[in-house]
Amino acid sequence: MSKVTVATVWLDGCSGCHMSFLDMDERLIEIAEKIEFVYSPFVDVKELPESVDLGIIEGAVSNEDDLKKALKFRKSCKFLISLGDCAINGNVPAMRNKFSVRECFDRAYHENVTEHPIDPVGEGVPALLETVKPVHQVVPVDLFVQGCPPSADTIYYVLTELLAGRTPDPTTMTRFGA
Amino acid sequence: MNLDELNEIKEKQKKYNQSFDSYIKVCVAASCKSLKSDQIKDAMREKMDEKCQVKGVGCLGLCSKGPLVSVTVDTNKQILYESVKAEDVETLFNATCKKEAAKLPQCSLDQPFFKHQQKIVLENSGEIDPEVIEDYIEKDGYQALLKVLNEYGPEEVVREMMDSGLRGRGGGGYPTGLKWATVNKARSDLKYVICNADEGDPGAFMDRAVLESDPHRIIEGMAIAAYAVGASRGYIYVRAEYPLAIERLKRAIRKARSKGFLGQNISGTSFNFEVDIRLGAGAFVCGEETALIASIEGKRGQPTPRPPYPAEVGLWGKPTLINNVETFANIAPILRKGGAWYASIGTEKSKGTKVFALAGKIENTGLIEVPMGFKLRDIIFDIGGGVPEGLKFKAVQTGGPSGGCIPEDLLDLHVSYESLREAGSIMGSGGMIIMDETSKMVEVARYFMEFCKSESCGKCTPCRVGTVHMHDILDRIAKGTGTEADLSLLEELCDMVGQTSLCGLGQTAPNPVLSTLKYFRHEYDNLIQKQEQPQVNQ
Amino acid sequence: MSVLTLTIDGQEVGASSDQTILDVAKAHKINIPTMCFLEGLTPWGGCRICVVDVEGAPRPLSSCTTHVTEGMVVTTTTGKLESYRKMILEMLYAEGNHTCSVCVSNGHCELQDKAQEMKMDHVRLPYLNQNMPMDSTHEHFGLDQDRCILCTRCVRVCSEIEGAQTWAVAGRGVDSHIISDLGTPWGESDSCTSCGKCVQVCPTGSLVNKGNAVNEQIKKVNFLEHLLQMRGQ
Amino acid sequence: MAKRTNPKVDFPSDDKRWKILNATMKRNGYEGHALIETLHTAQDSFGYLDGDVLAFVAKYLNVSKSKVYGVATFYHYFNLKPPGKHTCVICTGTACYIKGADQLIHDIEDKYKINLGGTTLDGELSVMETRCIGACSLAPAVVLDGEIIGNVEENDLLKTLSGWMV
């Protein structure tokens, strides 16, 4: 029985959710028998395959690059999970939403900067969106796993349920900020 | 003041008012007054002699042709001059004295606008001088009050109201007699009567016209209501945007008190009734009964959940009767001519007449009063004169921000509370905004939602936050960046906000959206991008 | 005040006419979710989470303010009601800036509890991202408007129980916000007695004690019932 | 309720307007429910409601300061910032909106670089909107310094405004 292909990505987040994923420790071995990472920070693959069974997105959409990745994930992955509060409600990254990008640049790159203050815009630097958005406000998402980060047990529960063909109910185990 | 003294004044005033050969009546209601009609009146008044009477009067109805001057020559020939200017005073006055028609722009009086109306609420508007109580008495003013105080018991008055079939003219259409009966039955040492003159609906100005043209009518109506329900204190809650109406009401209250129609032991009976004015301060939500009460109590105009209804627990916790200006304006005629007479007018369930304010893209903007059951098409094309500049009619919006729009193919409905509700709108206070082919319905829905968003009092979540989201979605759709997902979320919000909001504002805020969706769905669909493009809005 | 009978969720129950539907439901262990309601304060009826279906009423009624009447038939949970309540929660989340992970009340917040109870795992409405001020001028307490859901418990406890009447709601519609005295800083208030009742009754991390880190703000509301008993109310 | 004896009022200054304000409160027996009437008198005489006025009203109507501020900020009519020397209030009721009020607003906002509810920097002109002044037959209508002007054309309005902004 071929393994379930899984792709993960972390957009504007702190990678805590991916770390929590690894906290499954010995259960990773059991999981590894059933799934195969085809694109992820955990592996070296650089290109997202055309079709993937399960996509897991951590982090909010706060710049053009995040947006491209989210759109690509939605196109390629049959089932998409928003993992963690940043992906679900913007969480800490979205705390800049009450200010304009201009105000953020002034505060971070101009105020009390003595040497050569410039805006972080240019070749190779993805432009910031005006507001940081949860993933499901740019692409439809199938499952939301709350938490900052969601505990390893919660992630394990979600994965095993999905692998067994059932739809998990993460709210029984976690909540925003859990 | 008893009936004989009243009739004495009536006869004296009638004799005085008939002692002239010709009569000049200048409209000094707010919109004509803003076109300097009061200066025209003053100029003519200086010339007044015993042969030719000059009087400032209330609204003559066809405001778009203001300033209006109505001239009556040898007792029956009537001429209506339109857009009268200051320099026309000379020619107009001299011609009238010679009983001739002046060579000035005239407004034909046998056009449908005047011919097809039936006036009860507006019967004195444009006839009497609003600042002269004797003029009101000459038109049987205060007859009903004195008759009621001397011959009727409170329950009989309520019975008469029940028979008349009159329903609330504020928009809800709750049977007035039933409301009076509830307040009458409530046991309390103190009860209040409130006249709701907040008239927050944009595009509605009939209450203003009545208050400015015939203020005593409202005082008499309130006094009769107070007697019927056992109240001794009354308040008229007027919006601050109507300074002229406030001024005329204050003068009328002073005059009525000096003549003994207000105060202690009115007409020698044990009935006492005092009326005061309370000013609004710019809050549409204060048109809602419980928010209005909070405002009179000097608080933020925020509604309280009902039940309990104001009829049981109202102003300062006492039983309170609240009716709209137009409702009170119908009371005196009903008591004078009897409930059965009133019930003979209108349809089976919607009795009497209704005043409508025609505005927007229509030839004759102004006030009209027609019996219930009048055909909507005739109001717009016959009385209203149709859409100007040859443009095609598209829809008429009734009921303001809580109402809906009615398209061309439904114009043959006969106006009543029921027929308008079936068409997906409501009667509302009577504002009718006519729109032509250039109006975009999604933009109109956005306009009314923006109105509800900024007028929401903020007390309950669904209305406070829901209107913001509904407005943002409508804004996106109107700008062409809305998606299919937006539209389904909008429809879910409309249901949720309409069902769970605490008061009428939130409950009816979705109506303009639902009715434009019902009749002009294609406009929404054309604006929504077809391909499933992500909802990225910078 | 007369005794009467009514049906809630098919169950025949007795009640007295001065009780609200919520009172009766509580007395019979029937759970109706509430948010702005707090035992001991006059019901506000603003959040609308406690709406229930009452036969003959055109719309759901707020159970915290609606008094029971003889023969009333009440249904507390239907699919429709649950979707309405969930949407109200989503509105509260979208209106404020509720970043739970870094909030002092994380784990001890009634809004969080409701979201979990009603399985609200994400917010479909776009966030309003309003720029809401903070007030940390008071010596012991802080006010963070980002977390405020305008339930007005603080306003009610301050005027009804403490009597200082420091708090009030200013502005209108979505611009409504909590202010002290004349919209002046809390620390400069000459009416505030620093009793801290407002902090204890605030359901979220809006009114908090200074000096608490994330997850450490725990609130105890039972002082209210105790006080009312002492006052014989 | 027992009639409260009138409080002894000490006025913040001998500015006559405080006495006018006190007269309204006195006429209503210094009752709390006269708050909105009093705020109307205050705005008509002082032009706007500042902290001193609100504190004075709160003190003598025996109403908490927070409640007075809550009421003053709830109603659209009261403003807490000084209005411009000239006021231009544009009616955005339905009839005026259908007849182009929003176009008037855009023109003014572009020309004077302020948005609705704002006052020009030199304090000359404040532009506000109001919901409906009941002059629907003269739509679009504008209230210039308290005087209703009907059937307003864009260029006439801009001409009048620039006349003020000498």
Strand partners, D101: none
**Residues C182, D69: C-beta atoms closer than 8 Å:** yes
Model confidence at B75, pLDDT cuts 50, 70, 90, reads low
Q: How far apart are CA D122 and CA D115, in angstroms?
A: 15
* The residue to which tokens 């993992």 are assigned: A83
Strand partners, D147: D144
Enumerate the residues of chain C whose CB falls inside 8 A of the CB of residue A175. Answer: 100, 112, 115-116
**pLDDT of res. B530:** 63
Average pLDDT along chain B: 91
In this complex, is the C-beta atom of D144 within 8 Å of any C-beta atom belonging to chain B?
Answer: no
Could you tell me the sign of the dihedral formed by the alpha carbons of C187, C188, C192, C193, in that order? positive
**Residues C173, B454: C-beta atoms closer than 8 Å:** yes
What integer is the mean pLDDT of C149-161? 96
- One DSSP character per residue, B466-521 reads HHHHHHHHHHHHHHT---HHHHHHHHHHHHHHHHH-SSHHHHHTTHHHHHHHHH-H
Distance between A131 CA and the closest CA of chain B, angstroms: 8
Percent of chain D with pLDDT over 70: 97
Which residues lie below 8 Å from residue B247, measured CB to CB, with a gap of 6+? none
Of B534, B535, B538, the CB nearest to A130: B538
Query: Does residue D1 carry a pLDDT above 60?
Result: no
In this complex, is the C-beta atom of D128 within 8 Å of any C-beta atom belonging to chain B?
Answer: no
Enumerate the residues of chain D whose CB falls inside 8 A of the CB of residue C184. Answer: 51
3-class DSSP state of C118:
coil
In this complex, is the C-beta atom of D70 within 8 Å of any C-beta atom belonging to chain C?
Answer: yes
Query: Does residue B249 carry a pLDDT above 90?
Result: yes
Enumerate the residues of chain D whose CB falls inside 8 A of the CB of residue C167. Answer: 66
Residue D6 lies in a domain: no
Which tens digit of pLDDT belongs to each residue from B360-391?
Answer: 899 998 899 999 999 999 999 999 999 998 89
List chain C domain ranges.
3-77, 98-230
Nearest CA in chain D to B239: D133
Which tens digit of pLDDT belongs to each residue from B32-60?
Answer: 888 888 888 898 888 888 888 888 999 88
**Residues C97, A98: C-beta atoms closer than 8 Å:** yes
In this complex, is the C-beta atom of D149 within 8 Å of any C-beta atom belonging to chain B?
Answer: yes
Average pLDDT along chain A: 93
Nearest CA in chain C to B536: C126
In this complex, is the C-beta atom of A176 within 8 Å of any C-beta atom belonging to chain C?
Answer: yes
**Residues C173, B461: C-beta atoms closer than 8 Å:** no
The closest of D1, B219, B201 to B210, measured between CA atoms, is: B219
Q: Residue B199 region, left (φ>0) first, then alpha (ψ -120 to 50), else beta?
A: left
In this complex, is the C-beta atom of B20 within 8 Å of any C-beta atom belonging to chain D?
Answer: no
Query: Does residue D136 carry a pLDDT above 90?
Result: no
**pLDDT of res. D2:** 55
Domain C98-230: assigned CATH number:
3.30.70.20
Does residue C74 contact residue C53 with C-beta atoms inside 8 Å?
yes
3-class DSSP state of C98:
coil
Alpha carbon dihedral C59, C65, C69, C74, in 10-degree steps, equals 50
Distance between D108 CA and the closest CA of chain B, angstroms: 20
In this complex, is the C-beta atom of D47 within 8 Å of any C-beta atom belonging to chain C?
Answer: no
Nearest CA in chain B to A61: B536
- What are the backbone dihedrals phi and psi of residue A164, each rounded to the nearest 5 degrees, phi first? -85, 5
- What are the backbone dihedrals phi and psi of residue C44, each rounded to the nearest 5 degrees, phi first? -105, -40
Model confidence at C165, pLDDT cuts 50, 70, 90, reads very high
Q: What CATH number does the domain containing D112 carry?
A: 3.40.30.10
Does residue B166 contact residue B342 with C-beta atoms inside 8 Å?
yes
What integer is the mean pLDDT of C111-123? 93
Does residue D93 contact residue B202 with C-beta atoms inside 8 Å?
yes
Enumerate the residues of chain B whose CB falls inside 8 A of the CB of residue C47. Answer: 460-461
Whether D contacts C, i.e. 3 or more CB pairs less than 8 A apart, is yes
Q: How far apart are CA B375 and CA B412, in angstroms?
A: 6
Q: Report the 10 Å Cβ neighbour count for A14.
A: 17
Enumerate the residues of chain A whose CB falls inside 8 A of the CB of residue C217. Answer: none
Which tens digit of pLDDT belongs to each residue from C187-197?
Answer: 999 999 999 99
List chain A domain ranges.
4-95+131-172
In this complex, is the C-beta atom of D95 within 8 Å of any C-beta atom belonging to chain B?
Answer: yes
Q: How far apart are CA B7 and CA B140, in angstroms?
A: 9
Q: How far apart are CA D70 and CA C183, in angstroms?
A: 9
The closest of C139, C136, C137, C98 to C120, measured between CA atoms, is: C98
> What pTM was estimated for this model as a whole?
0.93
ipTM: 0.94
Could you tell me the sign of the dihedral formed by the alpha carbons of B28, B33, B37, B41, in that order? positive
Which tens digit of pLDDT belongs to each residue from B92-137?
Answer: 888 888 888 888 888 888 888 888 889 999 999 988 999 999 999 9
Which tens digit of pLDDT belongs to each residue from A91-108?
Answer: 999 999 999 999 999 999
Residue D1 lies in a domain: no
Q: How far apart are CA B251 and CA B318, in angstroms?
A: 28
Domain boundary among D50, D74, D98: D74
Enumerate the residues of chain C whose CB falls inside 8 A of the CB of residue D73. Answer: 170-172, 183
Half-sphere exposure of D63 (CA within 13 A, CB side): 28
What integer is the mean pLDDT of A57-61? 96
Query: Does residue A173 carry a pLDDT above 50?
Result: yes
In this complex, is the C-beta atom of A167 within 8 Å of any C-beta atom belonging to chain C?
Answer: no
Q: How far apart are CA B322 and CA B183, in angstroms?
A: 10
Residue D8 lies in a domain: no
What integer is the mean pLDDT of B250-273? 94
B:D CB pairs within 8 Å: 136
**pLDDT of res. C47:** 96
Kindly provide the b/e burial profile for residues B474-499, where b requires at least 16 CB atoms within 10 angstroms of the residue's own CB.
bbbbbeebbbebbbebbbebbebbbb
Distance between A67 CA and the closest CA of chain B, angstroms: 9
The closest of B206, B9, B234, B184 to B120, measured between CA atoms, is: B206
Distance between B492 CA and the closest CA of chain C, angstroms: 9
Enumerate the residues of chain C whose CB falls inside 8 A of the CB of residue D55. Answer: 182
**pLDDT of res. B61:** 87
In this complex, is the C-beta atom of C19 within 8 Å of any C-beta atom belonging to chain B?
Answer: no
Q: How far apart are CA D106 and CA B481, in angstroms?
A: 22
**Residues C131, A99: C-beta atoms closer than 8 Å:** yes
**pLDDT of res. D4:** 62
Enumerate the residues of chain C whose CB falls inside 8 A of the CB of residue A177. Answer: 100-101, 103, 106-107, 112
- Which of D115 and A158 is assigned the larger pLDDT? A158
CATH match for C3-77 among 3.30.43.10, 3.30.300.30, 3.10.20.740, 3.40.50.300: 3.10.20.740
Alpha carbon dihedral D148, D154, D155, D161, in 10-degree steps, equals 50
In this complex, is the C-beta atom of A85 within 8 Å of any C-beta atom belonging to chain C?
Answer: yes
Enumerate the residues of chain B whose CB falls inside 8 A of the CB of residue A62. Answer: none
B:C CB pairs within 8 Å: 97
What element of type H or E holds C7?
strand C3-8
What integer is the mean pLDDT of B421-433? 90
* Domain hosting residue D150, numbered range: 86-164
**Residues D66, C171: C-beta atoms closer than 8 Å:** no
Co-location of D64 and D90 in the same domain = no
Percent of chain A with pLDDT over 70: 99
Q: Report the 10 Å Cβ neighbour count for B407.
A: 18
Model confidence at D166, pLDDT cuts 50, 70, 90, reads low
Q: How far apart are CA D133 and CA B212, in angstroms?
A: 14
Distance between B305 CA and the closest CA of chain C, angstroms: 7
Q: How far apart are CA D133 and CA D142, in angstroms?
A: 9
Cα radius of gyration (chain A): 18
Return the axis-axis angle of helices B461-479 and B441-455, rounded to nearest 10°: 150
Query: Does residue B537 carry a pLDDT above 60?
Result: no
Does residue A177 contact residue A148 with C-beta atoms inside 8 Å?
yes
**Does the A4-95+131-172 domain belong in CATH 3.40.50.700?**
yes
Residue D61 lies in a domain: yes
Which tens digit of pLDDT belongs to each residue from B157-213?
Answer: 999 999 999 999 988 899 999 999 999 999 999 999 999 999 988 888 999 999 999
The closest of B436, B401, B430, B433 to B417, measured between CA atoms, is: B430
Which tens digit of pLDDT belongs to each residue from B333-358?
Answer: 999 999 999 999 999 999 999 999 99
Which tens digit of pLDDT belongs to each residue from D47-85?
Answer: 899 999 999 999 999 999 999 999 999 998 899 988 888
Q: Report the 10 Å Cβ neighbour count for B510.
A: 29
**pLDDT of res. B536:** 43
Distance between C108 CA and the closest CA of chain A, angstroms: 11
Round to the nearest angstrom and report the end-to-end CA distance of chain C.
16
**Residues D34, B298: C-beta atoms closer than 8 Å:** yes
Of C106, C107, C121, the CB nearest to A144: C121
Model confidence at A151, pLDDT cuts 50, 70, 90, reads very high
CA distances in angstroms from A75 to A60, A167, D32, listed in the order given: 18, 21, 64
Does residue B81 contact residue B104 with C-beta atoms inside 8 Å?
yes
**pLDDT of res. D3:** 59
Nearest CA in chain D to C170: D70
Q: Report the 10 Å Cβ neighbour count for B140.
A: 17
